Amino acid sequence: MFYLSLFFQYASQYLKTRLTYRADTIIEILSDLLFQAVNLIFIVIVFRHTAFLGGWNRDEIIFIYGFFLVPYAIFSSFFNIWDFNDRYIVKGEMDRILTRPVHSLFQIILERIELESLFGAITGLLVMGYAIMNLDITLAWYDVLIFIVMVIGGAFIYAGIFISIATIGFWSDSRTDIMPMMYNISNYGRYPINIYNKVIQFVLTWILPFAFVGVYPASYFLNREEWYGYAFFTPVMGILFFGIAILLWNAGVKRYRGAGN
Amino acid sequence: MSMYIEMIRVRFLMMLAYRTNYYSGILIYSINIGAYYFLWSAIYGGKEQIQGLSVAQMTTYVAVAWMARAFYYNNIDREIAAEIKDGKVAIEMIRPYNYLGMKTMQALGEGVFRLLFFSVPGMIIVALIFPVRFDASLTTWLFFFISLVFSFIVNTHINLLTGIMTFFLFNNSGLIRAKRVVIDLFSGLLLPISFYPDWAQTLMSYLPFQAISYVPSMIFTGGFVGQEIYKALLSQVFWVVILLIPIRLLWSLAKKHLIIQGG
């Protein structure tokens, strides 16, 4: 309960700060929209020149992209941990975090929320809706529940990977550029996994399981039965990767000695 | 003049001091090129060519487009925005040089650095992994480099414009991001302009963006031949000149409009 009320207080505080620079906030939301539109335009234009991409048609690919947007929006609203090393370790801010009465990871999540990213989820739902209409898919009532589970699983996978990488900061405070690299690798998950070679497929499934944020769970809703095994593994991977991240984080905090002075 | 050359040199040396940051950048670009390589291979499927480009040309296009980006890409819009916000721009303005000229020179220093330490080794790595073709003729290379210079100038012009907008918006990180996304799409980095529907191509021919990436990449891959090369280069020159006008206007307006936030 305490965590929840704290969360809402931080969220309302955040909204106040964003509304100070109103024009900029609106432009930022629009630029997010633009970014999503660019990816959609890419798909639409590519399919002017081909009917299938690795056996998937245009609307299926659009659906996968729409699905991807939802867990990604949740991830980028609540897990802005990509600059953890610079912001918290190097600047010594971690000392302050550790004096706070909540779990250190939760405190950082609170401080770094970016609620406007949630608009991406709406875009995602609209994009999926468009694809579903074209694809003539019928959804059962329980599909909504499965959708929620899949989305949470996907967001947890993202969060797990990025938190795990952030914990490197506890062991080494030298600058690494793994974070931006991860963002680029994560783009691979938006397209059908079968277009990549075997090594990349393996990496995207088991090591950096970004395929579980896009193509695998989406294939459940697209009735692609050959991928069902993977699709239902999404929440398991989410819990697994998030769990590993928490363990790494706690181990890292225990090891943390401050950045000096 | 020697003052400006010194600015290029200083920025170059500054980048050199932090060169380790750039090795990972090469990897990032390779990852991106890889993603598009697989994507395009799947898009081509069995097709010989799409819009006059074969799959080998397309791979080369993607690789060249990204590696050229390393040269023309810079963050001076962000730097200008930061200097306006912390008030440093007021001091810069009373110094005996043109502020925008200085920013351009710094961008050039950065660009030259990245061309030598990023694009060249990056190209070698990419050529080892993916079937990229570098057997372009000497004249093609020459035209490519000329158009690369223009693409740098056009992109820098647009960055200056975006940076100056901070004077009016006060906090314009959103606009900077939007600009980056627009350039990635409309410059032809993600998709060759010839892949777009006709109406979109017509629309884009009135915009400066394709001068940034599409022109040099098409010249290199042999997508442009003969007259087309000269026409493309001329359109780049056109934008180099035309974009000076809004920069001049906004800059003189901004000087009157200057509000230092803090500092």
State how far residue B44 is from chain A, nearest Cα, in angstroms: 7
Mean pLDDT within A164-173: 85
> CB-CB: which of A38, A46, A181 is closest to B31?
A181
| Rounded Cα distance, B6 and B108, in Å | 11
pLDDT value, residue A189 = 84
Q: Where are the beta strands (DSSP E) in chain B?
A: 49-50, 53-54
The string of pLDDT tens digits covering residues A186-235 is: 888 888 989 998 888 998 999 999 999 989 999 999 998 888 999 999 99
Is residue B263 over pLDDT 60? Answer: no
Is residue B56 over pLDDT 80? Answer: yes
Question: For residue A260, what pLDDT band results from cuts at 50, 70 and 90?
Answer: low
State how far residue B178 is from chain A, nearest Cα, in angstroms: 5
Q: How many other C-beta atoms can be found within 10 angstroms of the C-beta atom of residue A17? A: 9
Interface test with B, best of A20, A33, A42 (most B CBs within 10 A): A42
> What six digits make up the tokens of A246?
């928490």
| Rounded Cα distance, A166 and B137, in Å | 47
Residue B172: its chain A contacts at CB < 8 A?
24, 27
Lowest mean pLDDT, pick from A45-59, A78-92, B181-195: A78-92
The string of pLDDT tens digits covering residues B159-187 is: 999 999 888 877 778 788 888 888 988 99
From the list A71, A68, A75, A80, the residue with the least C-alpha distance to A187 is A68
SS3 letters across A125-183: HHHHHHHHHHHCCCCCCHHHHHHHHHHHHHHHHHHHHHHHHHCHHHHCCCCCCHHHHHH
Q: What is the percent of chain A with per-residue pLDDT over 70, rounded to a whole number? A: 97
- Average pLDDT of chain A, as a whole number: 89
Mean pLDDT within B40-68: 88
CB distance A204 to A211 below 8 Å: yes
Q: What is the percent of chain B with per-residue pLDDT over 70, rounded to a whole number? A: 97
Contact: B28, A50; criterion CB under 8 Å: no
Quick one: DSSP state of residue A209? -
Question: For residue A176, what pLDDT band results from cuts at 50, 70 and 90?
Answer: low
Lowest mean pLDDT, pick from A22-31, B103-112, B134-143: A22-31
Is residue B203 over pLDDT 60? Answer: yes
| Rounded Cα distance, B79 and A153, in Å | 39
Mean pLDDT within A57-66: 94
Interface TM-score (ipTM) > 0.90: no
Which is it for strands A52-53 and A56-57: parallel, antiparallel or unpaired?
antiparallel
CB distance A37 to A122 below 8 Å: no
pLDDT value, residue A238 = 96
Contact: B178, A30; criterion CB under 8 Å: yes
Displacement of CA A155 from its chain's centroid (Å): 5
pLDDT value, residue B135 = 76
A244 touches B: beta carbon within 8 Å: no
Q: What is the DSSP string of B191-259?
A: S-GGGS-HHHHHHHHTSSGGGTTHHHHHHHHTSS-THHHHHHHHHHHHHHHHTHHHHHHHHHHHHHH--
Q: How many other C-beta atoms can be found within 10 angstroms of the C-beta atom of residue A96? A: 12
| Chain B residue at shortest CA distance from A44 | B196
Backbone φ, ψ for residue B50 (5° rounding): -125, 130
Amino acid, single-letter form, for residue A84: F
> What six digits make up the tokens of A167?
């914990």
| Rounded Cα distance, B195 and B201, in Å | 9
| Rounded Cα distance, A44 and A66, in Å | 13
Lowest mean pLDDT, pick from A89-103, A173-187, B154-168: A173-187
Is residue B32 over pLDDT 60? Answer: yes
pLDDT value, residue B226 = 86
The string of pLDDT tens digits covering residues A4-26 is: 999 999 999 998 988 887 877 88
A199 touches B: beta carbon within 8 Å: no
Mean pLDDT within B99-119: 90
Amino acid, single-letter form, for residue B136: A
| Rounded Cα distance, A194 and A200, in Å | 10
Quick one: DSSP state of residue B135? -
Q: What is the DSSP string of A31-83?
A: HHHHHHHHHHHHHHHHTTS-SEETTEEHHHHHHHHHHHHHHHHHHHHH---TT
Question: For residue B7, what pLDDT band results from cuts at 50, 70 and 90?
Answer: confident
- Burial profile B46-70: b = 16 or more Cβ within 10 angstroms, e = fewer: eeeebeebbbebbbbbbbbbbbbbb
pLDDT value, residue B196 = 93
B112 touches A: beta carbon within 8 Å: no
Is residue B262 over pLDDT 70? Answer: no
pLDDT value, residue B96 = 84
| Rounded Cα distance, B62 and B33, in Å | 6
The string of pLDDT tens digits covering residues B63-105 is: 999 889 989 998 899 999 988 888 888 888 888 888 899 999 9
